[in-house]
Amino acid sequence: MHSVLGAQILVGFISGSQGAYFDITFSEEELLRRAKESLRSMFPKKNFEIVAWKGTRWLSDPYSRGSYSFENGASTLEDRLELFRPIDHRIYFAGEATHPVHYGTVHGALISGEQAAAAVHNRYCCHRDLIPSTPWNR
């Protein structure tokens, strides 16, 4: 995080099913032990002094219930398009998981929300195409 915060902070990500497993299985101490083990294997000649640390558990957090979708090796682009497909033109879906390219990101969630809103507008409002007024459409 040095280039962003100017501080000696390391951030590690564990995603997918392994992230879910870590979230519900390991104690804080075990997470720290494993993080140190990873650092030692990456930088065997360096000595690290960890002065503070924080582990997050997005899956266990009742206000989040997860973080973002991931490719499990068997999922396809069509699966994401299927998630985006409205039901009977009554229920529309958006969110990072529905975007075929920018899944797992804020901009994927934003673009898919804009596309869903435009689809609703185009079907139920003025019966003319809406070109969303967003920075990337100007």
Ligand X SMILES: Cc1cc2nc3c(=O)[nH]c(=O)nc-3n(C[C@H](O)[C@H](O)[C@H](O)COP(=O)(O)OP(=O)(O)OC[C@H]3O[C@@H](n4cnc5c(N)ncnc54)[C@H](O)[C@@H]3O)c2cc1C
Contact at 8 Å (CB) between 11 and 1?
yes
Question: How many alpha carbons fall within 13 Å on the CB side of residue 4?
Answer: 4
Of residues 56 through 95, those in contact with ligand X by CB under 6 A are 58, 63-65, 67-68, 95
Report helix, strand or coil for 19.
Answer: helix
- Residues 1, 9, 50, 106: which binds ligand X (CB under 6 A)? 106
Q: Which is nearer to ligand X, 38 or 64 (CB)?
A: 64
Binding test (CB under 6 A) with ligand X, winner from 32, 104, 117, 130: 104
Least distance from ligand X to the Cβ atom of residue 69, Å: 8
Q: Quick check: 67 and 59 in contact, CB under 8 A?
A: yes
Distance CA 65, CA 95 (A): 14
Residues that bind ligand X (CB under 6 A): 58, 63-65, 67-68, 95-96, 104-107, 109
